[in-house]
Amino acid sequence: MSLPYTNDSYDEPFRYCGVTRACGTDNPYDVDIAGIGVLVSFIATAAFSLLAIILGYLCECLPGTETNHVDQAVTVTVTTFVKFCFSPSLSRIKKLRARLSSAHLHHTQFQEELVKQWSTALERFILAMSDQQLVTGIAIMVTIYTKSCDISIYSFQMAGALAWFSSTTHLATLTILTKHFDTHRIARNFRAVMMVAMMFMLAVAQIISNSESVQHSSTDIYFGCALRKSFKLSPIDGYEIANLCLIIAWLILSYASRMISLYSANVKSSYSWPTRQIAFVLGLEIQEPTAEDDSLEKLDKVMQAVDDRLRNGPLGRWSLLRHVCVWIARFFSLAGAIERAFASSFLWHLIWLLFGATFGIGQVISIRKDYTVPYRKDQETETLNKWGFGQILPLVLLALPALMGLEAYFETKEKIERHRKSQRSSAMSSSHKGSRGETEMVATRSPTTTMTTDFSAESTPLPLPHRPTTASGIAAPGSVYDLPLARCMLVFYIAMWLVLSQLVAVSAATNFANLGLMIPLVVVLVIFYLWSVVAFEGPQLLHAVDRKRKERKARYLRDVAG
């Protein structure tokens, strides 16, 4: 971000972009880029997308996604809390504990037919918003590059921040649309090309915005003049280079992960992408964890095996120390199960969705608030907040996604009402036929024959099972997730990742130099990720290698014997 810094040499005429003129501009804050209406429309459009995803998550009707035990526990807790706020009742709190049990989480809160209908409507809305975010982001990036000679540094930075915000929102929608693009491959390929172009333009804009040429130039000079007169793309010192590399790495990894998910929508594995690639290259077969792997019965067996091994080892005489070691092993076993379930949940993607959104909106607010020229602040504020045609039009266009959402809502609501009427009519018809058949059977019943027919199941639908998951699965009854310690660990994981990711996003957005202060927190995030990948997926790779070696040896012995 550019600092409010003035340089007298910029007042002299200078030749750039084929024209000799002064570098300073009388209108540095282009309202078509940084006006209040443009900003509100960008933020509102992104907010619609994020709100739709969050509501779909809480209502268990996100299209093309699958949830696990962690997601269900979160949705049950949040929905219960919301209901308690509108209708306080101690019975809701008492029932929450039972609803969080593994046995209850086997069942969804909504009927499968309702979920399908709302998922279809939500997919249409999110797809439209995703297209709008991608096209808008590319349009604004192309504009600032083609008009680099005519815009100020402030306009370039604000446009880059808006494009970043639009890009992160688009990446968030792709998490929902992977199954859709798996069946629409031409649209997927076209979108992939646009995403690569967007990523490249964003990375270049981020590098330029944090270069020495822009950082030590006043915000009211022409952008092209600043680069042409003192061309230094590198930041001022190595400290800022490290911060810039961190943001660029996050950008590339985010786009890479979404691209991989677009082209591997049918890959259902709880293991991380590096582990899957290592297994693919080495030709290994990794066994997916099942619900039984997280059962209390298996945990007790593992702890008993650890205790027996320690009892027969050097700690046989030290019972207290042996029990401490067993409890440490139990703690890490629970932590491994929680880490695996949390990393494979949709909540994990939702946290990073919020990270990108916070960073994007933080950049917009920071640039608009802190980087005006002091001696013209009142004039600039009045100009930026003036409502003209270019500011009202984007707000009017916000009605398009709103109308689209309302259309999908009422259309789906009408389908659901027709479905319910059809169910009631079929149930009444079945009940009428059943009562007539029962009357006939009573009239013709023989003394040696007894026949009973129950039609109650047809009129009262049974609870439908929740959608199957791809990762750690729905926790089976008697799961480790029912333990109080495991639930405390889960709360800790969610709070830690959510809080730390938001702190990093706010620090990076409001003052880029402060990002270095968050390095210890970033290190904590990296350690926890490596813990889940190396400590809990590494042994599975080693077991797979050992199985392959034994199979190869057995095959060799059979060939020799034959």
pLDDT digits (tens, 9 = 90+) for 520-561: 766 766 676 666 666 667 777 888 888 888 888 888 888 887
pLDDT of 457 reads 36
Q: Which of 149-163, 196-210, 307-321, 449-463 is least confident?
A: 449-463
Instruction: Classify residue 460 as left (phi > 0), alpha (psi -120 to 50) or beta.
Output: beta
In the block, which residue shows the tokens 């400590």? 535
Q: Which of 103-112, 116-125, 350-359, 439-448 is least confident?
A: 439-448
| Non-local CB neighbours of 321 within 8 Å, separated by 6+ positions | 315
Q: How confident is the model at residue 173 (pLDDT cuts 50, 70, 90)?
A: confident
Share of the chain above pLDDT 70, in %: 63
- Whether the Cβ atoms of residue 62 and residue 122 lie closer than 8 Å to each other: yes
Q: Is the pLDDT assigned to residue 445 strictly greater than 70?
A: no
Averaged pLDDT score across all residues of the chain: 71
Q: Which two tokens stand for residue 142?
A: 């192309």
DSSP for residue 150 = T
In the block, which residue shows the tokens 């080693």? 542
Q: Which helix (H) or strand (E) covers residue 309, if one does?
A: helix 296-311
pLDDT digits (tens, 9 = 90+) for 49-79: 888 888 888 877 777 677 777 887 788 777 7
Amino acid at position 62, single letter = L
Q: Is the pLDDT assigned to residue 403 strictly greater than 50?
A: yes
- Whether the Cβ atoms of residue 9 and residue 24 lie closer than 8 Å to each other: no
Q: Which two tokens stand for residue 81?
A: 């809390």
Distance CA 194, CA 191 (A): 5
pLDDT of 449 reads 38
pLDDT of 1 reads 46
Look at 231 and 3; give whichever has higher pLDDT.
Answer: 231
Indicate the length of the chain as a whole number. Answer: 562
Instruction: Classify residue 473 as left (phi > 0), alpha (psi -120 to 50) or beta.
Output: left
- Distance (Å) of CA 308 to CA 237, 326, 387, 481: 57, 10, 76, 25
Q: Is the pLDDT assigned to residue 443 strictly greater than 60?
A: no
- Distance (Å) of CA 210 to CA 105, 235, 511: 48, 6, 11
In the block, which residue shows the tokens 């660029």? 248
Give burial (CB, 10 Å; 0-12/13-18/19+) of 131. middle
Question: Among positive and negative, which fits the CA dihedral 521, 526, 528, 531?
Answer: negative
pLDDT of 422 reads 73
Q: How confident is the model at residue 459 (pLDDT cuts 50, 70, 90)?
A: very low
Range among 33-47, 81-95, 500-514 rated most confident? 33-47
Virtual torsion, Cα 121, 122, 125, 131, nearest 10 deg: -130
Look at 500 and 201; give whichever has higher pLDDT.
Answer: 201
pLDDT of 300 reads 74
Q: How confident is the model at residue 94 (pLDDT cuts 50, 70, 90)?
A: low
Cα 141 to chain center, whole Å? 24
- Whether the Cβ atoms of residue 284 and residue 548 lie closer than 8 Å to each other: yes
Q: Where are the alpha helices (DSSP H) in 111-222?
A: 112-146, 153-174, 178-183, 185-209, 212-215
Q: How confident is the model at residue 472 (pLDDT cuts 50, 70, 90)?
A: very low
pLDDT of 493 reads 82
Q: How confident is the model at residue 500 (pLDDT cuts 50, 70, 90)?
A: confident
* Closest-CA residue to 514 (of 350, 352, 366): 366
Q: Which of 174-183, 220-229, 322-331 is least confident?
A: 220-229
